[in-house]
Copies of this chain bind each other. A is one copy, B any other.
Amino acid sequence: MEDSKETLADAFDRGGAAAVQAYLESLEIDGVRRELDRLSGEARQTLIAALPPEVAGDLLEDLAEAQAIEILEDFEASEAAPIISALPEDIGADFLREMGSKESDAILDQIATEAPEEEAELRERVAYDDETAGALMESRFVAFDERCTVEEVLTDLSERAEEYSDRDVQYVYVTGGNGVLVGVLPLRTLVLTRRAHQVASIMVKAPVSVNVGDDLEALEDVFESAGYLGLPVLDDAGMLRGVVLRAAVEEARADHYADDYLKSAGILGGEELRSLPLATRSRRRLAWLAPNIILNLAAASVISMFEDTLQAVIALAVFLPIVSDMSGCAGNQAVAVSIRELALGLVRPTDFIRVIWKEISVGLINGFVLGCILGCIAWLWKGSLALGLVIAGALMINSVISVLIGGLVPLLLKRFKADPALASGPILTTCTDVCGFFLVLGLASTVIDKLPQ
């Protein structure tokens, strides 16, 4: 079993930083995460503070991002700064961007006292919006001036082989005198060319590139339409600032979807790990739950309006939650399809007519089927055809309303720059509850003397 008897703390006591390093290397990545997750906050911070910054950095890279940020935030700036400095710039900047701005500022100020240049570069990186090319790019790329010869490039590559050994150099970028990207040179071409040539004469001119501000959607499009493994990232002046890898874009996409799922389930403010302090976990979850009480009350007040009807025909009480739940489920399916079609670019936020048409048709069929099933059950169970008809009618109509709302709300939210994954669910549920309660009780009121009292 992977549960060996020795723990991280044991290893530290036995042999200090070196033993910890060896111990961590013997674990699978999940094991490392779990071990640190299980330590108390204090033990964890003591342990990491005792490691050399490079080792601590390697360790943080292995952790889930939320774990790493929690650890960095818990340190004094003077302890966190060397670890951030030891990390590759893109990862250090990622952590700083996700941290509280007070903590990240303190760390950057600390770095500035020792390495003002590094601080300036990090600040520039941190300033890029999340999920843009600027945030996702690596700043470690290999670029040469266009006047270099192949010989010079190969010599330099060979001399700096050590420095390049931790990454996969596939392209050499070629810049003009002013740092503007003018071409790209696949390593393959370099290998197969006479060494006296100037790189300018053999490079691919006007290569495909992206802008530092390009967002995830734009990056996906570029990578989807061609098989590049990496693309140069330029600033507005055309200067080469970094390289964004296909893998980094796909990773950001995966994280984005994972995050959408969390948000749709009401986990906000970044991902929750159960190792976070109880107060934080509780507060974040309440921030979502408390407003939901208001929405629920608004919906349930419809029931209050019809208390007389309900009291007269108490059998309705059984079917109230079923009708609202079932249409909620139907509407949720429409929400998911709209969010997916938006992501795939199959529907635009303005394509209302198409969504209305496509959802009404499904809503009518499924509402009819579900309405008939539930109506028959109500009829047979409570022995009242009129009750069956009320329930069937309410579920049919409410299903159509729900899939319409469910299909349209994500488009509307997207159009007004709100987050469909976050807000669609509560809006939908409130609407389907209001309409469901209203339909069941309203229809029942109109035929109340035919219903079992």
Contacts and interface: CB of A to CB of B under 8 A. Distances in A.
A137 B276 CA distance: 38
Contacts of A257: 254, 257-258, 261
Nearest to A266: B333
Given A168-B229, A258-B343, A281 B362 contact: yes
Q: How large is the interface on A (under 10, 10 to 19, 20 to 34, 35 or more residues)?
A: 35 or more
Interface in A170-198: 170, 186-188, 190-192
A423 to B, nearest CB: 14
Contact of A251 (B170, B250, B314): B250
B267 A336 contact: yes
Contacts of A288: 329, 333
Interface of A: 28-31, 33-34, 37, 62, 64, 67, 154, 157-158, 161, 164, 166-170, 186-188, 190-192, 221, 224-225, 227-229, 245-247, 249-251, 253-254, 256-258, 260-262, 264-267, 271-275, 278, 281-282, 285-286, 288-290, 292-293, 296-297, 299-301, 303-304, 307, 310-311, 314-315, 317-322, 324-326, 329-330, 332-333, 335-337, 339-341, 343-348, 354-355, 358, 361-362, 365-366, 369-370, 373-374, 377, 429, 433, 437
A82 to B, nearest CB: 22
Nearest to A310: B317
Contacts of A377: 293, 297
Given A251-B250, A336-B265, A322 B296 contact: yes
Q: Which 5 A-B pairs have the closest CB atoms?
A: A30-B345, A250-B250, A265-B336, A257-B257, A254-B254
Contacts of A318: 300-301, 303-304, 307
11 contacts: A29-B221, A62-B224, A168-B186, A169-B188, A187-B187, A254-B256, A261-B261, A266-B329, A267-B336, A278-B361, A303-B321
Contacts of A365: 278, 282
